[in-house]
Structure 1
């Protein structure tokens, strides 16, 4: 019994031709197709028209002889080729996509995109890819060290302290532990200091001592051991000071050793 093909199916026969030997394969397909009945579906009826098919292959064979370097590909291959071309155009025309900014729970008044992109690259690997949550802000919670401690009660994740002084300079510290009242220093070597002047200057742990963070109701201190703290804030989070110290071998973080706090924020990177 002969096999009937719709005209649409006949059209798809073109897609199986290859470039190996066009004349040979075209002739073979022509003889094969001439032995079959082709039907065309028109509304609810089919009809057979071998003359149309024969003419179709005859014209194809003539064209192949005129251009032996033709290559027939499937519809699927054609779409893949088009998609690939579009991808190449996209790669050439589109600029490189920079690393994504960290997701913040709230809008920061102190950190712009430049600050965020730079800081995130220096945070420990265990904090990468997580949302930054605002724990404390002088603009929201008022200027109170006691409130800062209270907002961190029960927190068990590293924190980022960001300060802007009255001269608009931005600086601060990353602490491996949340700030709390303690008789003794706490923290690990992940703790570091930073300042933007305007590019980031980072001061990592020197290894000379472990005076990372300490605090009481009267003040918060980061770094020490040389007669001064790398960063010191009073109970009202209004007056501050920054000196070089052995813990980080840092330069003064603020515009001056003694400074006035304009705003302060504390963020936690929870995982």
Structure 2
């Protein structure tokens, strides 16, 4: 009995122990469940704060827009009606273009974001992505604002000298805390700051949303769309800051021309501690993206004075000048009297030595002198000797400089050589869809694995693409490669097929190339695909281009002058001799008439009822006239022409990016409308 009792006791104790174990397990389970539930509750509270912040910031933003239009634009409009206006109506439209559409979008979002916040506060399911998807077409006004931002900033910079205009502006800056500092350009930066807030809040919302949540995919698409918009606006703000840097350089150099300040020009480095030899005069070199600015020190003014500006194609740099002093280097200005090698003419018209004819000099060049000599019945031999003397003996100007140290010398030589090397870029890769891939399920069969295009069957070639490469937006200069989307010879003369392949979703930025019956090649670049649309659309990133036929030099070839110039100027001899010069006509900032396309025609650039490029619905005939949009000349041989071939190209990097996406976004890529 004792054993049994012991056993029973042992059993009871065992059961007690098991009960304790089970209670411990239950406690641990409760602890783990509490630990997992806590982050969920935190995420819910965090999302409440974010939804509330999104709504409040939108309301504050709309309120500032109303104040801006009432206290800033309205007085300016009334001032125009007065007898002594400080600003014209066209300038007002340039400054505030797009703000009415942005305000309407903001007011609509205010109401819908408030509903989203109240629903989520009651723990109801919400989908923020639906709100952005609903207004995706209205958000295009922000993309257009990017292209107008630089133009409005230039105008605002010029108007800032007017005291009455500044008074209106200061009243607006003092009325709100959204605008930072006292910078007069904060008014234009406001939409950029607001999109940055969108990007930040949507990113935090995405991080606090579980992937199994039904609204996660739409929220992810919304964030990607807004993030792409934010990057575009951030690039516009970056261009503005680059422009400020160039303006500071211009102010610090006496007699520096205003034309040095140019949109799309970037400042790389400024070296102001150099010495020119043998005069030992302080010298300054400013390295820009496309030109080199030279300035000399003036002892009387105690400032740097503008000397000259040179294109890199007319420049050579020599770094091994002296073994004894490695800080010495030389700049060789090749054929310095050719206007092509100068962006801006030097201020003084005095030559440096006998027989030199600087750009902007009032002295008559040798060829004109030869004509004057003939007119004065002088001998032809005398004129010919003067021509040969100028052509062969005065082709190089050398500037010897000394840097502060070896490191500075290396930096200058490396930067200049890098810019010069870009004049001889690697060949462009031109591809087209693989014709053998007949089982491809994509809209354009074979586009997933394109193959090299036959050079004999296409209009574009590496020379033309390299000539217009630096006119492309910087975000597209990832890869020197284009892929063919449409060809008149391969896909027929239907405008519907052209629109269908343009909007197939394989890249928004595209290049249109046309060849007429006189073998003239011309075209345009657009930042968005062609589509049937009521009215004009597009952005200021677009441009027109034409390939000029090479000109014969006539008898001057026998003198050897043509060969000497092409060699010294550093231009791509064989390419230009074969094709001629490629002219690019960027946006002139006079109007916003970029693209007009419908079921009857497609046109690019306009002004006074005429188009820069116009093609009929069957791609049989076309027209080309000078336009106000691009300040272009007639692109074809004649204003009316017959079309031989039309090609539409997109950037291969954009196609690769589309296929890398795991899931197709419900939002259109930049500028692409939903059908």
2:504 is the counterpart of 1:122? no
CA displacement at 1:214 relative to structure 2: 1.3
Give the Cα separation in 2 of the matches to 1:153 and 1:174.
15
Residue 139 of structure 1 aligns to a residue whose secondary structure is helix
Unaligned runs of 5+ in 1: 1-95
- Deviations 1:13-60 (Å, cap 9, x if unpaired)? xxxxxxxxxxxxxxxxxxxxxxxxxxxxxxxxxxxxxxxxxxxxxxxx
1:219 to 601, 612, 623: 601
Q: Indicate if the aligned counterparts of 2:536 and 2:594 stay in contact, CA closer than 8 A.
A: yes
2:487 is the counterpart of 1:137? yes
Counterpart residue number, 2:501? 151
CA displacement at 1:154 relative to structure 2: 4.0
CA displacement at 1:102 relative to structure 2: 2.8
Give the Cα separation in 2 of the matches to 1:182 and 1:117.
31
For residues 61-76 of structure 1, the aligned pairs below 5 Å read none
- Deviations 1:58-103 (Å, cap 9, x if unpaired)? xxxxxxxxxxxxxxxxxxxxxxxxxxxxxxxxxxxxxx89422232
Counterpart residue number, 1:5? none
Give the Cα separation in 2 of the matches to 1:266 and 1:169.
17
Q: CA RMSD in A?
A: 1.6
Q: Indicate if the aligned counterparts of 1:102 and 1:120 stay in contact, CA closer than 8 A.
A: no
For residues 41-60 of structure 1, the aligned pairs below 5 Å read none
2:645 to 246, 256, 263: 263
Q: Indicate if the aligned counterparts of 1:182 and 1:216 stay in contact, CA closer than 8 A.
A: yes
Unaligned runs of 5+ in 2: 1-420, 433-452, 549-579, 655-675
Residue 515 of structure 2 aligns to a residue whose secondary structure is strand
Q: Indicate if the aligned counterparts of 2:468 and 2:584 stay in contact, CA closer than 8 A.
A: no
Change (3 A) 1:122 1:183: same
Counterpart residue number, 2:611? 229
- Deviations 1:173-222 (Å, cap 9, x if unpaired)? 00111100100211111000000102111111111110100111100011
Give the Cα separation in 1 of the matches to 2:529 and 2:426.
26
Q: Indicate if the aligned counterparts of 1:215 and 1:221 stay in contact, CA closer than 8 A.
A: yes
Q: Indicate if the aligned counterparts of 1:102 and 1:129 stay in contact, CA closer than 8 A.
A: no
Counterpart residue number, 1:173? 524
CA displacement at 1:119 relative to structure 2: 2.1
2:539 is the counterpart of 1:188? yes
Q: Indicate if the aligned counterparts of 1:187 and 1:213 stay in contact, CA closer than 8 A.
A: yes
Counterpart residue number, 1:164? 515
Q: Indicate if the aligned counterparts of 2:430 and 2:461 stay in contact, CA closer than 8 A.
A: no
* Structure richer in strand, relative to its length: 1
* Structure richer in helix, relative to its length: 2
Counterpart residue number, 1:206? 588
Structure whose CA Rg is larger: 1
Q: How many residues align?
A: 176
TM, length-normalised to structure 2:
0.25
CA displacement at 1:121 relative to structure 2: 2.8
Counterpart residue number, 2:318? none
Counterpart residue number, 1:101? 427
Counterpart residue number, 1:239? 621
Give the Cα separation in 1 of the matches to 2:591 and 2:533.
18
Q: Indicate if the aligned counterparts of 1:160 and 1:173 stay in contact, CA closer than 8 A.
A: yes
- Deviations 1:137-174 (Å, cap 9, x if unpaired)? 01210122111001122435111000011000100000
Q: Indicate if the aligned counterparts of 1:164 and 1:262 stay in contact, CA closer than 8 A.
A: yes
Higher relative contact order (CA 8 A, sep 6+): 1
Counterpart residue number, 1:61? none
Give the Cα separation in 2 of the matches to 1:216 and 1:227.
16
Q: Indicate if the aligned counterparts of 2:515 and 2:522 stay in contact, CA closer than 8 A.
A: yes
CA displacement at 1:225 relative to structure 2: 2.3
Give the Cα separation in 2 of the matches to 1:177 and 1:266.
12
Residue 512 of structure 2 aligns to a residue whose secondary structure is strand
Q: Indicate if the aligned counterparts of 1:194 and 1:202 stay in contact, CA closer than 8 A.
A: yes
Give the Cα separation in 2 of the matches to 1:178 and 1:113.
23
1:110 to 454, 459, 463: 459
Give the Cα separation in 1 of the matches to 2:542 and 2:630.
9
Give the Cα separation in 2 of the matches to 1:196 and 1:150.
28
